[in-house]
Amino acid sequence: MIPEVGQVALALALCLALVQSVLPIAGAARGDRAWMAVARPAAQGQFLLVAIAFGCLAWSFAANDFSVLNVATNSNSHLPLHYRLAATWGSHEGSLLLWVLMLGFWTVAVTLFSRHLPQDIVARVIGVMGLVSVGFLAFMLFTSNPFDRLVPAAPDGRDLNPLLQDPGMIFHPPMLYMGYVGFSVAFAFAIAALLSGRLDATWARWSRPWTTAAWVSLTLGIALGSAWAYYELGWGGWWFWDPVENASFMPWIVGTALIHSLAVTEKRGTFKAWTVLLAILAFALSLLGTFLVRSGVLTSVHAFATDPRRGIFILAFLAVAVGGALALFAWRAQRIGAGGRFDLVSRESLLLTNNVLLMAAAGSVMLGTLYPLALDALGLGKISVGPPYFETVFLPLMAPALFLMGVGPLARWKKAELPELAVRLRWALGVSVVVALAVPFIMGRFSALVGLGIGLAAWIIASAAVSLLDRVKHASSGAGIAARLASTPRAYYGMLLAHVGVAVFVVGVTLVKGYEAEKDARMAPGDTLALGGYTYRFDSVREVQGPNYVAARATITVTKGADTVATLHPERRVYRVQEMPMTEAAIDNGVFRHLYVALAEAVGDNAWIVRVHYKPFVAWIWGGCVLMALGGILAATDRRYRALSRAPQAAAYAAALAR
Amino acid sequence: MKPRSKRIAMIAGGLAALAAAATLVLTAFQQNLVFFFTPSQVAANEAPQGRTFRIGGMVETGSVRRQPDGVTVRFIVTDTAKSIPVVYQGALPDLFKEGKGVVAQGRIGPDGVFQAKEVLAKHDENYMPPEAADAVKRAHETSRKAAQTVVGGDGR
């Protein structure tokens, strides 16, 4: 009964989504206020219906209703409740439902926080988001129904993939989808602006907080996924350049470019066409990412052949959404017009360079991800593109981008003087050179790449400090330092914090890459192994029972000199239903290093192959991502996005920002 | 500079940067492509000497041997037609099992033993990586065609 309620709710949601997209857009075109007014209630109603459907599916999982195919294939009665609930989005169908739920969530957010926007823009934005929702709901109902029944019902389910039975997997997909789907708001604003023909700085200001919010979610979602891969896969790697990871990284890169391009469009009215194009592209890549990961095409391009309807629907949907948007763009492009002029050396040109570098990076990831798939689909042979390709490409593309990150925030709009910039940044340069030379020696081994990475990180932090000091010194408002700092817009602090986050991330990546160590060894009880100044003693192994697995659990004592540093318990689990072995690594967390131990396999006589990693500064990788996200939150909650109705105040504020 | 020459300089600079980026990306791409070969192709000397490539197939049942040092492991990868011995040092992935699919990346040694640098685990509950499945399928097709030729010859 409950699954049928969900089914009906989905079908009604599709009808309402159609209303939500057709009436407001047509109303905006005809200037019909009553039709436009349908947008808000229709969007809220659609969200409610999708939430009901989602609740029904979650209930089916929680209640072990194995007459639902989706539940029978992705859950099991022995699975703990929190993983049963997380299994709701563990499958292709369930994750699509989560996608639509997120879309509804963002749309409702738009209906609530758009009071100050003109009615036609709101109607168009909500209408475009409704169209996206129509596409996804139709895809679900016609090809991937999460509520399909299984007759006769299975006695028990086939269980959730053990890899996904992890706390990280509860939070990673919703966060990632928040990000993916969030870019639909930026996309909808871009389309609305194209439809209305009013592509100006106001448009950029409206879509900025939304874009930043989506970017924050995507940043956290990717970071969670990376952390999960790090401790769950047992290989100690935090990024594998796997197509699944690349699929989420591409929209992130383009989204980052979009945030910076939007800043220029808002402040200077330039790059308008480019910004619109980026908004379309960021969402297109989000769609592509969802489908790449969820359609099974990555496991085998021939997965499409088993269910051609899905493949054709996906391709058609991508073609309509992206093709339609690009066609609209081409049609309206000449109306956009050029913005203000700027000099060869100016904040605009620096941000343009940043955009070019980011887009080149996104293009190279795309080439490495899609080319092997295309070749395989055309039957031209199987190839793979490994991490060395991406690493070779990213270093020369990102090094100049990181350098410019230091200069950009200090350069003036329109026209900057190189000598003046050099004078303002001279001690930042000095500090970063000293740090670049000192850190590798402190760490014990010099390497040019470590020096470069650390130097760039120091450069970003030092130039952020210079920028902050300049602001305090030259602030026009109050007398005291505190007053000056308080009068500085929150968005500015957000930008600095996010940039510092990038620096922290770079420190983590550089030092892990430069000084990590690993060792595989056969160990029997009593054996010891030395790595990175720590001694690991293999004490014992015993069997433990989990709710749905049995595990061999080792006790390994880590000592440094005479001190005991940690006692670690890595496990080797076998999940009963799928008889799948899983390595559960044990990690001693530290700010400056992780000690990582994994049990690989039993080799008889109570002996095991043990894999030990020494990971210096690895936590900084995710710490940097968290700082970036916090910076994004500060920027998105800047008060000028909220207090636009108070015109004089907003103008004064804009003047303070333009400085 | 005049605005016009400024704009030309900007466009030229942008194009040069793009060209440099494209060259960089494509060179790196070409150098790091890893091709896939089936054991039959390796046996027929189609695989390159001295270059990294991937092989895939099934781990032959009963072929996995740990060496006395504990970390070196030898096994045989087969596509049911031909077999290639593989040597690897380190911990094997969770999904590695005799009689199941495997993909290994490395180089072929002068002794004909494939020296794997990496044995791959797919994040997938199916034990068969697509490349491995493909290798077995191709070997089957070849042997079926061979059988048909033999049958056809007999019928004449």
CATH for B131: 2.40.50.140
User: Of A384, A416, A448, which residue constitutes the final position of a domain?
Assistant: A416
Name, in order, each residue with C-beta under 8 angstroms of A345's C-beta and a sequence gap of 6 or more.
A411, A415, A416, A417, A418, A421
Q: Which domain holds residue B99?
A: 34-147
Judged against a pLDDT cut of 60, whether residue B126 lies above it is answered with no
Residue A52: give its domain's CATH number.
Answer: 1.20.120
> Within a domain: residue B11?
no
Write down the pLDDT at residue B124. Answer: 47
Closest CA–CA distance from residue B32 to any residue of chain A (Å) = 5
pTM score, whole prediction: 0.90
Write down the pLDDT at residue A509. Answer: 95
Instruction: Pick the residue of A356, A382, A389 with the most B CBs within 10 A to test the interface with B by mutation.
Output: A382
Nearest to B70 among A352, A393, A609 (CB): A609
**For residue A632, what are the CA distances in angstroms to A39, A248, A260, A263?**
29, 18, 12, 13
Nearest to A601 among B3, B28, B91 (CB): B91
Query: A525 and A510 in one domain?
Result: no
Write down the pLDDT at residue A152. Answer: 87
Are B90 and A388 an interchain contact pair (Cβ–Cβ within 8 Å)? Answer: no
pLDDT tens-digit series, residues B21-68? 888 888 888 888 888 888 888 888 888 888 889 888 888 888 888 887
Residues 41-70 of B with CB under 8 A from A: 54, 66, 69-70
Distance CA A132, CA A295 (A): 18
Q: Within an 8 Å CB–CB cutoff, is residue B105 touching chain A?
A: yes
Instruction: Pick the residue of B32, B51, B69, B97 with the most A CBs within 10 A to test the interface with A by mutation.
Output: B32
Q: Within an 8 Å CB–CB cutoff, is residue B18 touching chain A?
A: yes
User: Would you call the peptide bond into A396 cis, given omega within 30 degrees of 0 as the criterion?
Assistant: no
DSSP three-state, residue A379:
coil
Are B122 and A242 an interchain contact pair (Cβ–Cβ within 8 Å)? Answer: no
Q: Nearest chain B Cα to A578, which residue?
A: B125
Q: B22 contacts in A (CB within 8 Å)?
A: 360
Element housing A652 (H / E): helix A647-658
Q: Which domain holds residue A540?
A: 517-617
Query: A481 and A400 in one domain?
Result: no
Write down the pLDDT at residue A68. Answer: 92
Write down the pLDDT at residue A110. Answer: 94
Distance CA A631, CA A496 (A): 7
Query: A211 and A107 in one domain?
Result: no
**For residue B65, what are the CA distances in angstroms to A400, B59, B75?**
49, 12, 6
Query: A333 and A234 in one domain?
Result: yes
Q: Within an 8 Å CB–CB cutoff, is residue B8 touching chain A?
A: no
Instruction: Pick the residue of B67, B125, B138 with the most A CBs within 10 A to test the interface with A by mutation.
Output: B125
Q: Within an 8 Å CB–CB cutoff, is residue B95 touching chain A?
A: yes
User: Of A162, A197, A226, which residue constitutes the final position of a domain?
Assistant: A162
Are A601 and B89 an interchain contact pair (Cβ–Cβ within 8 Å)? Answer: no
Are A609 and B71 an interchain contact pair (Cβ–Cβ within 8 Å)? Answer: yes
Q: Which two tokens stand for residue A152?
A: 């006769």
The answer to whether the beta carbons of residues B34 and A386 sit under 8 Å apart is yes
Query: A244 and A314 in one domain?
Result: yes
Distance CA B110, CA B107 (A): 10
Phi-psi region of A587 (alpha: psi -120 to 50; beta: other; left: phi over 0): beta
Write down the pLDDT at residue A301. Answer: 56
Write down the pLDDT at residue A283. Answer: 95
Q: Within an 8 Å CB–CB cutoff, is residue B30 touching chain A?
A: no
Write down the pLDDT at residue A64. Answer: 92
Strand pairing of B65-66 and B53-59?
unpaired
Q: Residue B127: pLDDT band by 50, 70, 90 thresholds?
A: very low
Element housing A608 (H / E): strand A608-616
Nearest to B17 among A161, A356, A611 (CB): A356
Strand pairing of B72-78 and B83-89?
antiparallel
Percent over 70 (pLDDT), chain B: 81
> Within a domain: residue B12?
no
The structural domain count of chain B equals: 1
Query: A632 and A485 in one domain?
Result: yes
Closest CA–CA distance from residue B153 to any residue of chain A (Å) = 31
| Neighbour tally for A228: CB within 10 Å | 19
Positions in chain A whose pLDDT score sits under 50: 644-653, 658-659
The structural domain count of chain A equals: 4
User: Of A110, A141, A162, which residue constitutes the final position of a domain?
Assistant: A162
Q: Which residues pair with B85 in a beta bridge?
A: B76
Write down the pLDDT at residue A312. Answer: 81
Judged against a pLDDT cut of 60, whether residue B121 lies above it is answered with no
Query: A254 and A183 in one domain?
Result: yes
Residue-wise DSSP of A464-485: HHHHHHHHHHH--S-SSHHHHH
Write down the pLDDT at residue B155. Answer: 36
Alpha-carbon dihedral A533, A537, A542, A546, rounded to 10 degrees? -10
Instruction: Pick the residue of B7, B8, B33 with the most A CBs within 10 A to test the interface with A by mutation.
Output: B33
Write down the pLDDT at residue B125. Answer: 44
Write down the pLDDT at residue B152. Answer: 44
